[in-house]
Amino acid sequence: MKNKLNKQVLATLGFTRGREVALILGLVSRHRKKVGVDVVCGELLQVKENPEAFLSDAVWEKLALELMPEEVVQPEHVKLREVAVSFSDYGGLDVDPEARNQMYQALKLPISVRGALMPDAHVGYGLPIGGVLAAENAVIPYGVGVDIGCRMKLTVFDMPGTYFKGRENQLLEILKANTKFGHKEVHDRVMDAEVLNDQAFDEIPLLKSLHKQAWRQMGSSGGGNHFVEMGTLNVTADQGVNGLARGQYFALLSHSGSRALGASIAGHYTQLAKKMCRLPGNMQHLAWLGLDTEAGQEYWRAMQLAGAYAEACHDDIHRRLCNAIGGRMLVSVSNHHNFAWKEIHDGKELIVHRKGATPAAEGELGFIPGSMTLPGFLVRGKGNEQSLRSAAHGAGRRYSRTECKQKFTLSEMNAELKARGVSLIGGGVDEAPMAYKNIHQVMALQSELVDVLAEFHPRLVRMDKG
């Protein structure tokens, strides 16, 4: 009689792949703690011999899916609608036709209810960046995006906009010393955060394997277009913002997401969704998980955790910089723009995916960045139902990263930054200001969606090395 189920015992049963072992141990911990090891081993052998018979099993469903050859998990493709359901288009003339086509194709899914295309839309995987999709009782991992909970955070200090004068070098050093970017940089000392103690890290095998890296990366930012900026906030609203009067303030802005944690969650559950929901080749990234399935509920819980982790990272970044600068925070505003929400639309609960879109419910504050040389905007949502209470999440790319490297030089980028009075640490030509659309044109296209309360003008920018 075996005393304990472990890797060695599982190896004797033929389970040697790390992913299978982690999955089995997690399922046993959750569902079979009080069952004898010999009984569990007998069940595992049955699943291994005939996984198809366990595809609807309350305990072993996910293991059966893992063991099934991908091409026979569900041999028939999901039947799509012949005509897509409607979507509202705020893209204007500057949106790539392929981004519109991606939105149209997504709205052929049988779970789709309606959608909206934002002014900054451009081509993504499955759902376009700047695509908003409302679905019924299902979540699309790639409709949320790889960087789950990617978000903005603006903090306004009790200092005038002129605080930069004579302090540029000092502030650049503070920015460099207190921020970490990319895969290699982490803080020497990581502050504990409540999210790192979430029980999901113990109860979901995938999250358990990611906990150590999540802890190490706490308070850091990703690569690509993620940044931390110091700049001037010009409050233009007559009534001010959350107690801030009209005028100029020293402010801090950050853009980043859930790091390796979110990327791993997105990858894992997208592969699982593809096995459970067979779509045509050009639409496979739109595979979904029903929220009435264990896998769907597990992804939803993992997504919430990744969103909370992204928020905690931003809070840590702003806390570190506030301590180093020595100022007092007056107001902070933050929002996700890669996430899914349960919302009521037309009297019905729907799952609203915003992949590169800012929530803009009536009265809701959010931030829409421009580029390093053009302003970003603190906005208040108008609650427009046609846009599914959403707005753009930025200027949107005009050129891909590959096109930027072919089209621009580092000297051209530096000349543009110098002309605009912006100092940059890190960054590459793939993030050159010229890569992005004109944010003023994007804002003009969404006057029905948000009111502008303030403009943020970057002065000091930190990004990954590029």
pTM of the shown model: 0.85
For the chain, 466 residues long, give each residue's pLDDT as a single digit of tens: 466 888 888 988 889 888 888 889 888 888 888 888 888 898 999 898 888 777 767 788 888 888 877 544 444 578 899 999 999 999 988 888 999 999 999 999 999 999 999 999 999 988 999 999 999 999 999 999 999 999 999 999 999 999 998 999 999 999 999 999 998 899 999 888 999 999 999 999 999 999 999 999 999 999 989 999 999 999 988 777 888 889 999 999 999 999 999 999 999 999 999 988 888 877 899 999 999 999 999 999 999 999 999 999 999 999 999 999 998 999 999 999 999 999 999 999 999 999 999 999 999 999 999 999 999 999 999 999 999 999 999 999 988 888 998 999 999 999 999 999 999 999 999 999 999 999 999 999 999 999 999 999 999 999 998 5
203: in domain? yes
User: End-to-end alpha-carbon separation of the chain, Å?
Assistant: 57
Q: Which domain holds residue 34?
A: 7-69
Asked if 227 contacts 461 with a C-beta cutoff of 8 angstroms, the reply is yes
279 and 400 co-located in one domain: yes
Element (H, E) at 296: helix 294-325
DSSP state of 438: -
Q: How many domains does the chain have?
A: 2
158 and 18 co-located in one domain:
no
Residues facing 133 on adjacent strands: 115, 353
What is the distance between the alpha carbons of residues 296 and 283, in angstroms, rounded to a whole number? 19
Domain boundary among 15, 50, 69: 69
Answer for the pair 172, 460: CB distance below 8 angstroms, yes or no.
yes
Final residue belonging to a domain, choices 48, 69, 90: 69
Last residue of one domain, picked from the residues 69, 95, 119: 69
Q: What is the CATH number of the domain that holds 381?
A: 3.90.1860.10
Classify residue 143: in a domain, yes or no: no
Same domain, 222 and 323: yes
In angstroms, the CA 205 to CA 24 distance is: 9
